[in-house]
A and B are shown apart, each in its own frame.
Chain A
Amino acid sequence: MKKLVLLFLLAFRGWVGFSQSDTGSSLPAASGGSYALVAGGSKGIGYGIAEALAKRGYNLILIARHLDTLQAAKKKLESAHPIHVDILAIDLSFEKSADEIAKWCKDRDIHLKVLCNVAGLGGSKDYLSFPLDSLRYMVRLNIESCMALSLTLMPLLEKNAPSYILNVASMAGFAPIPVKNLYSATKSAVVFFSYSLRYQLKDKHISVSCLCPGPVFTKPEIVKDTKQKLGWFGMKMALDPGTVGEVAVKKTLKKKLIIVPGGLAKISAFVIRLLPRRWVVALYGRAGKKKK
């Protein structure tokens, strides 16, 4: 009997999880002069998102640490799309960065419609193999910068409503991954933050989405790491940043809350969220110990 009830609840949970997609009025293309800000937009998933936004006619503000990669991104985007790209070389891990960015936008009265928090730090080094300073940097970049930028840019987004916030978490935010301890914990905070923010901002007509991708091949190391730890299945699940960006932007503009690109990743995410956490942790723990 107990098992039956549990099974029913699990099935219910699964069904709700899948059917829960708000398909509100879609707003695919930008009207002239609309801007999208992509924090961490010079490379990887951020660049993929920037490209998908450019395709839809949004002017862009790209933020990253290094000016040279920003300039390269600007050149590439402006040559392929009839849009304007602004670039700001700012380290998002500083507490004052969010205020600086908001001031920059306010001074120019930017017609901001979309905010994408993509900047993040993660990798094969994590808790127990990373110095404390780097771990703190990870928290600042993954959680604090995302919360701060959403807060400081809120007045602009509110003014230009309906508007959109896209936070980038990861599938690692659905269940704890021991070898990616801190990364996974920070991403779960981003997932929670996005859920809460969505309901806090509902009345202000700002839609909040959270991108939770599986492996994305943004660097050669990730290809190697995925092959080693997740094997054949991981390779099948992985996507390129262009595809991820396109799916992310499409679903964000459709006001979907949780975005998991890719069929296999979607199924994996579904299973991960359904199973009891300690099972998933044990499974991840075993996979993480695999060496070559």
Chain B
Amino acid sequence: MSWALIAGGSKGIGYAVSEALGRRGYDILLVARDGQALAAAKSKLESHMPVRVETFAADLSLPASAGDIANWCRDNAFDLNILCHVAGMGGAKDYLRLPVSELNRMVSVNFVSPMSLTLSMLPMLQKNAPSFILNTASLAGFAPFPFKNVYSATKSAVLFFSYSLRNQLREKNISVSCLCPGPVFTKPAIEDETRKKLGWFGSQMAIEAGALGEMAVRQMMNGRMIIVPGRLSFLVSVLLRLLPAGILARVLSEKPTANLTDTI
């Protein structure tokens, strides 16, 4: 059976994506920064699924990582045909509240890393076609969210990159998808915050990580370009895409809804 690589796969959405792929019989390559979290994810996956799991600890914000990961795959003959980039950085602090170095790190993890890793893995994906690439953006990639300024900008870049890449790789039989979730309950803190700040609507829109991973993998395998899990999130995404960016930015920058941007 073939391998699937999940960058940022030790926790949260990435782990859920790994689980969904494991359920479909793929052997799993996990890449993340924290060696301990990787080991925990590996033992958890192997305990309830008949899959092989290999791990590689790498800081995806570093320029050398993409090449290191590609070499690791080549050296161990992990012939993969699925590449999922789920690692990302964001939070309540963004532009005007973070130093330049942290902002640059956000650009590196969210945008430069998927772009570099995809380029480094392309020869292998091409050899094993039909293959699949899954990038992770966010609902915040559809419209500028002033309180998540740089996060939103990097996610828009991921979305643009995915659109173009899909067009570029179609003839090579590599399908590119982009996951754009709303609030996801990956940590108890996010659950509390969403309930508190978005109330009923937020809780309805939010999705649990396991369900999200399953949906993401199913739709990726179906060759879908934009994946927005959950009916309510999808509806919100349609509005975000349809309304003019200027109006959205203005509305989203006003105080009451500013809370909303903290959770997405």
Contact = CB atoms under 8 A, between A and B. Distances in A.
Interface of A: 9-10, 13, 16-17, 20, 95, 98-99, 127-128, 132, 135-136, 139, 143-144, 147-148, 151-152, 154, 176-182, 184-186, 188-193, 195-200, 202, 257-258, 273, 277-278, 281-282, 284-285
A16 B100 contact: no
Q: Which of A95, A189, A278 has the most CB of B within 10 A?
A: A189
B160 A16 contact: no
A197 B164 contact: no
Interface string B11-40: 000000000000000000000000000000
B149 A197 contact: yes
Contacts of B101: 95
B95 A285 contact: no
A278 B253 contact: no
B144 A98 contact: no
B225 A136 contact: no
Contacts of A278: 163, 225
B242 A9 contact: yes
27 contacts: A9-B243, A127-B168, A132-B120, A139-B111, A143-B107, A144-B104, A144-B107, A151-B95, A151-B96, A179-B168, A181-B164, A185-B111, A185-B158, A188-B157, A188-B160, A192-B156, A195-B146, A196-B145, A196-B149, A196-B153, A199-B146, A199-B250, A199-B253, A200-B95, A200-B96, A258-B246, A277-B163
Given A151-B95, A182-B115, A282 B249 contact: no
B100 A151 contact: yes
A200 B146 CA distance: 6
A184 B150 contact: no
A159 B19 CA distance: 53
Interface string B85-128: 00000000001100011011001000110011001101000000
Nearest to A284: B167
A148 B100 contact: yes
Contacts of B250: 199
A106 to B, nearest CB: 16
B152 interface: yes
Chain A facing B: main interface SS:
helix
Interface of B: 63, 66, 95-96, 100-101, 103-104, 107, 111-112, 115-116, 119-120, 122, 144-150, 152-154, 156-161, 163-168, 225, 241-247, 249-250, 252-253
B100 A135 contact: no
A132 B116 contact: yes
8 tightest CB-CB pairs across the interface, nearest first?
Answer: A199-B253, A195-B144, A181-B164, A196-B149, A176-B163, A185-B160, A192-B153, A178-B167
A139 B161 contact: no
B165 to A, nearest CB: 6
B104 A148 contact: yes
B167 A285 contact: yes
B83 to A, nearest CB: 15
A176 B159 CA distance: 9
B107 A128 contact: no
Contacts of B119: 127-128, 132, 135
A200 to B, nearest CB: 5
A180 B167 CA distance: 11
A189 B153 contact: yes
A192 B144 contact: yes
B153 A193 contact: yes
Contacts of B100: 95, 98-99, 147-148, 151-152
Given A136-B112, A200-B253, A184 B247 contact: no
Contacts of A132: 66, 116, 119-120
A151 B246 CA distance: 22
Nearest to B248: A195
Given A98-B100, A176-B164, A193-B150, 10 more contacts: A16-B244, A17-B246, A127-B115, A185-B158, A188-B156, A190-B153, A191-B245, A195-B249, A196-B152, A277-B163
Nearest to A181: B164
B164 A177 contact: yes
B63 A185 contact: no
Contacts of A190: 153
Most B CB atoms within 10 A — which of A136, A182, A196? A196
A147 B112 contact: no
Contacts of B96: 151, 154, 200
Contact of A185 (B147, B164, B166): B164
A128 B168 contact: yes
B249 A198 contact: yes
